[in-house]
DNA sequence: TATTTTGTTTGACTTAAATCAATGTGCTAG
DNA sequence: CTAGCACATTGATTTAAGTCAAACAAAATA
């Protein structure tokens, strides 16, 4: 377990390289660095990411109905977003990790339309949306980036609709694992092993399945030699077979 | 059938009032009218909606993989958007009517990530996205509006995920009908009757169900006196019961 | 008008996943 | 160390929706 995404155990050892990679996308300042800004422009961009916030495991970053003021760029930690129906059924709509943005759901109504909950201790950058908009007017490259972030979320959710509408349990779980591992890999973690930050029930909610089905499907994959599972630890033994299982393009 | 959304039969009779309402949202010029722009500013905004395009029934407005250059504001007609998996399964991701925007899926990758198909003869405004971005920098109110359009789509898709992940066939169809009729009502059409522009199969694809299930559920609703169905014509007899069936907030 | 074609309804049967239930596992805290 | 708790696994059974198939209706075409 050298390379794995065990934040608590290895958080102190991941000091420079890993951390830089993991956070390379995590706020707009770092993000715009490779876009050729000068020092002064960088300072301006810093205005929108000056404030940081710690969120303890289990705590809500925001809740459905909260007034919308800011987007949040995740620096460290892991979140879920979920919506609830009137009669209490809950649907996890996404899992977000370092470098990803939460809060886009609030723009349209000026209040949030889902809950964001930390699945482990986390740190976020608070980006007041009026600042984002103001600076977007000044820096076209930032404006385009904000648009891309929103468009990416729309495309991701299109893929989720395909998954929930058309795919069988095995396909869904395969696509889910591949997507997770791919995103972790882009942050410098292993391609073949990961620690799940969520329960079987949360995975089930996300994939439109019950927790028992998730458990059974994990066991099936394990028996077939496709993965090795032990509690939250998952190692991918046969990525090709996993890819074959899901004909969905998890490209984004 | 006085008030119903029969575009072909009544298109010529809907000249002034109805047409204005139906199209009140249909492009940025009309949309920004109530925002207090002066004539000169209006002319500037006209730049991005100068071009119109006709799309015949069955034709693609754009196709997955097409280079992304523009958003499209629907003036008249009805579209579906859909994504396909590698093995050919198709998922309808949305139905769009006059006043709504298509093409947001293309921003993130500079090419489109779904197909947009006209379900009846349609006219759209072509809005080159670079123009939209340019003018957004100049007019904060337009910038905010563009952000809201994207956020609304994200929230809508969150609701779809709840639907596809948690709701039963009856709930899905009830929510679908209520949503359609509500959007039509906002455009000046009847609250209680509508003409479906799509097949049972397309409804099924959208709702994650098979066409036979759609047909059976229509029949069930009809037997229960909740709706009257005859082919594509639907009249809602008991909206309350329909609302009770779906505990989903179809607010947006 | 006759004839395909396309879309819809309905019935009989199957199945994937849900539900219900029991047991197992590994933390956490006293 | 062990008691309690949250989470996970596995088995038995049920069920909502899918599948297969036939008949029907409406629209398009000849």
Q: What is the pLDDT of residues A200-243, one digit of tens each?
A: 999 999 999 999 999 999 999 999 999 999 989 999 999 999 99
Q: Which 8-state DSSP code applies to residue A104? A: G
Is the CB of residue A11 less than 8 Å away from at least one CB of chain B?
Answer: no
pLDDT at A29: 54
pLDDT at B38: 65
B209 Cβ nearer than 7 Å to chain D strand? yes
Task: Say whether A101 sits in a helix, a strand or coil.
Answer: strand
pLDDT at A42: 67
Please judge whether A249 and B86 are an interchain contact, meaning their C-beta atoms are less than 8 angstroms apart: yes
Please judge whether A205 and B165 are an interchain contact, meaning their C-beta atoms are less than 8 angstroms apart: yes
Please judge whether B158 and A93 are an interchain contact, meaning their C-beta atoms are less than 8 angstroms apart: yes
pLDDT at B24: 41
Task: Say whether B164 sits in a helix, a strand or coil.
Answer: helix
Is the CB of residue B252 less than 8 Å away from at least one CB of chain A?
Answer: yes
Please judge whether A252 and B109 are an interchain contact, meaning their C-beta atoms are less than 8 angstroms apart: yes
Separation of B38 CA and D23 C1' (Å): 63
C-alpha count within 13 angstroms, C-beta hemisphere, residue B84: 10
Query: How far off is chain B from A161, nearest CA to CA, in Å?
Result: 6
Is the CB of residue B100 less than 8 Å away from at least one CB of chain A?
Answer: no
Q: What is the pLDDT of residues A91-148, one digit of tens each?
A: 999 999 988 999 999 999 999 999 999 999 999 989 899 989 998 999 898 899 899 9
Partners of A127 in beta bridges: A71
Q: Report whether pLDDT(A248) > 70.
A: no
Is the CB of residue B141 less than 8 Å away from at least one CB of chain A?
Answer: no
pLDDT at A200: 97
**Region A59-85 average pLDDT:** 94
CA nearest B94 in A: which residue?
Answer: A158
Task: Say whether B87 sits in a helix, a strand or coil.
Answer: coil
Strand locations in A77-196 (E): 78-84, 90-97, 101-102, 115-118, 122-128, 193-195
Query: B193-195 and B233-236 as β-strands: parallel, antiparallel, unpaired?
Result: antiparallel
Enumerate the residues of chain B whose CB falls inside 8 A of the CB of residue A135.
Answer: none
Dist. CA A159–CA A155, nearest whole Å: 6
Query: A60-62 and A51-55 as β-strands: parallel, antiparallel, unpaired?
Result: unpaired
B150, B169, B203: which to substitute to probe chain A, counting the most A Cβ within 10 Å?
B150
Dist. CA A190–CA A188, nearest whole Å: 7
pLDDT at B107: 97
B9 Cβ nearer than 7 Å to chain C strand? no
pLDDT at A167: 95
Specify the higher pLDDT residue, B161 or A5. Answer: B161
pLDDT at A53: 92
Q: Report whether pLDDT(A9) > 90.
A: no
The CATH number for A12-160, chosen from 3.30.420.40, 2.30.30.30, 3.40.50.300, 2.60.120.10, is: 2.60.120.10
Give me the residue from A151, A164, A167 closest to B165, CB to CB: A164
Please judge whether A208 and B155 are an interchain contact, meaning their C-beta atoms are less than 8 angstroms apart: no
Partners of A53 in beta bridges: A124
Torsion angle of alpha carbons B43, B18, B151, B77, nearest 10°?
Answer: -90
Q: Which 8-state DSSP code applies to residue B61? A: E
Q: Which nucleotides of C are covered by protein (CB under 7 A)?
A: 7-12, 16-21, 26-27
Q: Are B74 and B80 in contact (CB under 8 A)?
A: no
Q: pLDDT class for B52, splitting at 50, 70, 90?
A: confident
Strand locations in chain B (E): 51-55, 60-62, 70-76, 78-84, 90-97, 101-102, 115-118, 122-128, 193-195, 227-230, 233-236
Q: Which helix (H) or strand (E) holds A219?
A: helix A211-223
Dist. CA A96–CA A149, nearest whole Å: 13
Q: Are A38 and A46 in contact (CB under 8 A)?
A: no
Please judge whether B148 and A107 are an interchain contact, meaning their C-beta atoms are less than 8 angstroms apart: yes
The ipTM value here is: 0.89
Dist. CA A67–CA A72, nearest whole Å: 14
**Region B226-247 average pLDDT:** 92
Q: Judged by CB atoms within 8 Å, which residues 146-185 of B form the interface with A?
A: 146-155, 157-162, 164-167
| Alpha-carbon torsion (A176, A178, A183, A187), positive or negative | positive
State whether CATH 3.30.365.10 applies to domain A167-246: no
Q: Where are the domains of chain B?
A: 12-160, 167-246
Specify the higher pLDDT residue, B154 or A26. Answer: B154
* Contact partners, residue A57, CB within 8 Å, separation at least 6: A118, A119, A120, A121, A122
Specify the higher pLDDT residue, B14 or B199. Answer: B199
Q: Which nucleotides of D are covered by protein (CB under 7 A)?
A: 7-12, 16-21, 26-27
Q: pLDDT class for A22, splitting at 50, 70, 90?
A: very low
b vs e for B213-236, b when ≥16 Cβ sit within 10 Å of the residue's Cβ?
bbeebbeebeeeebbeeeeeebeb
Q: Which 8-state DSSP code applies to residue A6? A: -
Q: pLDDT class for B251, splitting at 50, 70, 90?
A: very low
Query: How far off is chain B from A1, nearest CA to CA, in Å?
Result: 34
Q: Report whether pLDDT(A28) > 70.
A: no
Task: Say whether B177 sits in a helix, a strand or coil.
Answer: helix
Please judge whether A85 and B162 are an interchain contact, meaning their C-beta atoms are less than 8 angstroms apart: yes
**Region B16-42 average pLDDT:** 49
Is the CB of residue A222 less than 8 Å away from at least one CB of chain B?
Answer: no
A209 Cβ nearer than 7 Å to chain C strand? yes
Please, what's the largest Cα pairwise distance for chain B? 57
pLDDT at A186: 87
Enumerate the residues of chain A whose CB falls inside 8 A of the CB of residue B86.
Answer: 247-249
pLDDT at A11: 32
How far from A147 is each of A144, A150, A158, B147, B149, CA to CA, in Å?
5, 5, 17, 8, 11
Question: pTM here?
Answer: 0.89
């Amino acid at each position: 377990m050298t390379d794995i995404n065990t934040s608590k155990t290895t958080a102190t050892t991941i000091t420079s390289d890993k951390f830089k990679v993991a956070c390379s996308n995590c706020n707009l300042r770092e993000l715009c660095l490779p876009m050729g800004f000068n020092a002064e422009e960088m300072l301006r961009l810093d205005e929108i990411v000056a404030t940081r916030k710690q969120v303890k495991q289990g705590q809500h970053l925001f809740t459905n109905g909260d007034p919308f003021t800011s987007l949040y760029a995740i620096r460290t930690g892991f979140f879920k977003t979920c919506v609830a129906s009137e009669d209490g059924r809950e649907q996890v709509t996404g899992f977000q990790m370092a470098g990803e943005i939460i809060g886009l759901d609030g723009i349209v109504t000026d209040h949030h339309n889902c809950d964001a909950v930390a699945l482990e201790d986390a740190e976020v950058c608070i980006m007041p949306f009026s600042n984002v908009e103001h600076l977007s007017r000044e820096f076209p490259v930032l404006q385009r980036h904000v648009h891309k972030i929103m468009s990416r979320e729309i495309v991701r959710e299109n893929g989720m609709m395909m998954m929930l509408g058309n795919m069988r349990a095995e396909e869904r779980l395969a696509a889910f694992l591949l997507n997770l591992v791919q995103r972790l890999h882009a942050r410098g973690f292993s391609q073949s092993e990961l620690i799940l930050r969520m329960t079987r029930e949360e995975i089930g909610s996300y994939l439109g399945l019950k927790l028992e089905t998730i458990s059974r499907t994990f066991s099936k994959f394990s028996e077939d030699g496709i993965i090795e599972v032990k509690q939250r630890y998952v190692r991918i033994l046969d990525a090709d077979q996993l890819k074959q299982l899901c004909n969905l393009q998890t490209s984004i």
